[in-house]
Amino acid sequence: MARKELIVVLILALLVILGATVRFLTAPIGATGPRPRPKPTRPAGSPGKGAAGGPERAPLWPPLNDRTTPTDPDALRLFEAGETLASESLFDAAIAAYTHFLESWPEGAPAEMALLRIAQCHTLAKRPKEAADGYELFLRRHPASPFRPLALLWGGESLLRIGQPELARLRLSEVVAKFPSSPFVDSAKALLSALDAAPPPPKAKAP
């Protein structure tokens, strides 16, 4: 492993240890046994029940598979560092890990997943502007990705949050039109229905 990659991995490992230490110190007195490590999940207020009346679940964090898992040992170590940091809700550190991964391994399916993970981390950190930008970048760079419907849905949701309803409508409508059997279509329909029911913006007064 190159010196730069080694330093990055060591820093990320220290951040994970720090997060675990903080959780241990803040655990209730008398608590016993290991605490389960949290996994990145659908954040509150995202497409789902209670948000625009959508369905109960809209998947956000797809697991790695044979296609998206790095085969290079150093690349795998760095990517797994990002996954661990994200699971600890250390999203900025996870983004740094995925960004460094992309700098060193910019091509292939693992790079595709790393770019998606950056946008997902912004979603989980409740930063809709950065999330929307991240999903748009992903859609431009990987137009034929199997994760396109996921990026369209969550990108559309982020666009709605930052006041870009027309572009959001385009993204959500593509989910419905092109991916009708995906697990994201019900959430897309719910957000589109909410968008249709929203009052129109006030017209500008004539000078």
Q: What is the domain partition of the chain in residue ranges?
A: 64-126, 127-197
CA gap 119, 164 in Å, rounded: 17
Q: Which residues contact 83 (CB under 8 A, 6 or more apart)?
A: 64, 94, 117
Q: Quick one: pLDDT at residue 59?
A: 75
Q: Quick one: pLDDT at residue 12?
A: 62
Q: Quick one: pLDDT at residue 4?
A: 53
Q: Quick one: pLDDT at residue 205?
A: 62
Q: What is the DSSP secondary-structure string of 113-127?
A: HHHHHHHHHHHHTT-
Report CA-CA distances (Å) from 180 to 7, 138, 176: 45, 21, 5
Q: Quick one: pLDDT at residue 36?
A: 41
Residue 31 structure tokens: 């608590």
Q: How many CB atoms lie within 10 A of CB 148?
A: 21
CA gap 39, 47 in Å, rounded: 18
The rounded average pLDDT for each run of 10 residues, N- to C-terminus, in the chain (207 residues) is: 54 56 46 42 40 51 94 96 95 97 97 97 96 98 97 96 96 97 94 87 60
Cβ–Cβ under 8 Å, residues 59 and 175: no
Q: Quick one: pLDDT at residue 140?
A: 98
Q: Quick one: pLDDT at residue 60?
A: 84
Rounded CA Rg of the chain: 19
What is the reported pTM? 0.75
- Residue with token string 């559309």: 156
Q: Quick one: pLDDT at residue 17?
A: 53
Q: Quick one: pLDDT at residue 29?
A: 44
